[in-house]
């Protein structure tokens, strides 16, 4: 799977520079696509469900989806970030 993600990742990393983003900013925030996404399709689906539930029901309802995504793929940084942000929105900073 990582091999499949390398080519689009390389192409995507060129887009900001082609749109006028400075090379230093591109290099600072550039990450291989395989590192920025979940390695588990089920984890990605759970996280996506969290996004949808947040929009329709509210942030509290999305917590279980983000936790589920993290359980499936503990290295899924976006799920960790969304869970953290959700707790922040709800005022739970612990």
DSSP-assigned letter for residue 57: T
Residue-wise pLDDT tens digits, 40-92: 889 999 999 999 999 999 999 999 999 999 999 999 999 999 999 999 999 98
Asked if 66 and 58 count as a contact pair (C-beta separation under 8 A), the reply is: no
17-22 average pLDDT score: 56
Q: What confidence tier does 17 reach under pLDDT thresholds 50, 70, 90?
A: very low
Asked if 83 and 71 count as a contact pair (C-beta separation under 8 A), the reply is: no
**In sequence order, which residues have a C-beta less than 8 Å from that of residue 72 and are 6 or more positions away?**
38, 40, 42, 43, 46
- How far CA 67 is from CA of 12, 15, 22, 62, in Å, comes to 28, 32, 36, 9
């Amino acid at each position: 799977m990582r091999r499949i993600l390398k080519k689009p990742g390389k192409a995507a990393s060129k887009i900001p520079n082609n749109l006028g983003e400075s090379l230093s900013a591109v290099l600072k925030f550039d990450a291989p696509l395989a590192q920025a996404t979940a390695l588990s399709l089920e984890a990605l689906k759970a996280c996506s469900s969290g996004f949808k539930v947040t929009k329709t029901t509210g942030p509290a309802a999305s917590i279980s989806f983000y936790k589920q995504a993290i359980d499936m793929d503990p290295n899924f940084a976006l799920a960790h970030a969304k869970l953290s942000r959700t707790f922040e929105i709800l005022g739970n900073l612990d």
